[in-house]
A and B are shown apart, each in its own frame.
Chain A
Amino acid sequence: MHLAHPAVLSALLFSVGLYGVLARRNAILVLMSVELMLNAVNLNLVAFDVWLRDTLHAGQALTLFIIAIAAAEIGIGLAIVLMVYRNRGSSDVDRLRDTAEAHGPDDSGAGHDGETPADREEKAEATT
């Protein structure tokens, strides 16, 4: 089999995951995209492991480890998202702007965003 096939597939999957991480608004969807990126890496590892015929099978072992770590990551990540949702009433990544500059010309905008969570929650409930 041509090595370029799994390599290109993993590169494309990685980029798709990247797009998801950057473009998705819901934090859980962001986590899904992260999983996708991890899997793209896994595919790469397996493909190269098979190609190299590694006696230690480092690629496959590493893949297993990554799967385990990804599982842990998704557990912790979801716990954090739930925490944020519980405290803020929203799990939208682009609304968590506490690190924004508080003063200056952006003040009114930041304040607007600062008081939105309650509004957003109402809206979210209205839409459901």
Chain B
Amino acid sequence: MTLAAAATHGFLSPTGVEIAFLLVGIATLGAALIMVTTRQLVHAALWLVVALGGLAVEYLLLTAEFIAWVQVLIYVGSVVVLLLFGLMLTKAPIGRSPDADSGNRWVALAVAVAAAASLVWVVVDAFRTTWIDLDGPAQGSTEVSGEILFRHWVLPFEALSVLLLAALIGAIVLSRRDKEGPAQGLPADRPVREGNS
């Protein structure tokens, strides 16, 4: 299949899906880059929305529609909201903050560039001549996903629910205010979000 794909496809003859994927990918990457470099903390959260949304589009392009919607619902819908709440509750400065990056920046940059270079090198080296066949029925439709999830992955699914319960209780215990503690704290909004997931 791979060889056949290699025979029929080429770098210089991109399909429409491929072009869309690349464009959205560049947008996603750019949003991610801005997110990690911006000096405005709230903007960082918003750029994260863009990046995650872009990823959801990529999932759609890869025909994994159920995951795409879950991505939108959970990440864009709740996680980012939660992060914004966190920013507000920790009195994150609104506007440009001069010290958003720590002194570790250059080391971090070096490590990240090195990691990126090695990963890209390895990945490209390995999958240079491999194509994904996106024809045929969607592989990640809700029906398919539900079927496999509740037929083959029931046990891990249930175990995961226990993990979520533990996280729920843990979050409550951690954020519960001491009686004589300072009057700052988190409203009990996380259990709602946990319920969402």
Contact = CB atoms under 8 A, between A and B. Distances in A.
- Check A-B contact in the complex, CB < 8 A: yes
Interface of A: 1-9, 11-29, 31-33, 35-36, 39, 42-43, 46-47, 49-51, 53, 56-57, 60-61, 63-65, 67-76, 78-83, 85-86, 91-94, 124-125, 127-128
Contact of A7 (B127, B148, B184): B127
A75 B127 contact: no
What is the interface of chain B mostly: helix, strand, loop, or mixed?
helix
Contacts of B17: 1
Contact of B170 (A5, A7, A36, A79): A79
Contact of A46 (B28, B64, B123, B133): B64
A35 to B, nearest CB: 7
A79 B124 contact: no
Interface of B: 9, 11, 15, 17-18, 21-22, 25, 28-29, 32-33, 35-36, 41, 44-45, 48, 51-52, 55, 58-59, 61-64, 66-67, 70-71, 74-75, 78-79, 82-83, 85-87, 89-94, 97, 99-105, 107-109, 111-113, 115-116, 119-120, 123-124, 127-128, 130-134, 139-140, 144-145, 148-149, 152-153, 156-157, 160, 163-164, 167-168, 170-171, 174-175, 181-182, 184-186, 190, 193-194, 197
20 contacts: A5-B22, A6-B62, A15-B115, A21-B108, A22-B104, A23-B109, A24-B100, A25-B100, A35-B75, A39-B71, A60-B64, A61-B145, A64-B149, A67-B67, A69-B160, A79-B175, A79-B186, A81-B90, A86-B182, A127-B93
Given A60-B145, A67-B74, A93 B102 contact: yes
Given A28-B90, A60-B67, A75-B171, A11 B120 contact: yes
Nearest to B32: A16
A56 B154 CA distance: 12
Nearest to B117: A15
Contacts of B74: 67, 71
Nearest to B71: A67
Contact of B194 (A39, A70, A71, A92): A71
B67 A85 contact: no
A29 B102 contact: no
Contacts of B120: 8, 11-12
B21 A74 contact: no
A79 B91 CA distance: 15
B154 to A, nearest CB: 10
A21 B108 CA distance: 8
B163 A72 contact: yes
A61 B93 CA distance: 39
A78 B190 CA distance: 10
Given A12-B120, A65-B156, A82-B186, A53 B167 contact: no
B134 A75 contact: no
A52 to B, nearest CB: 9
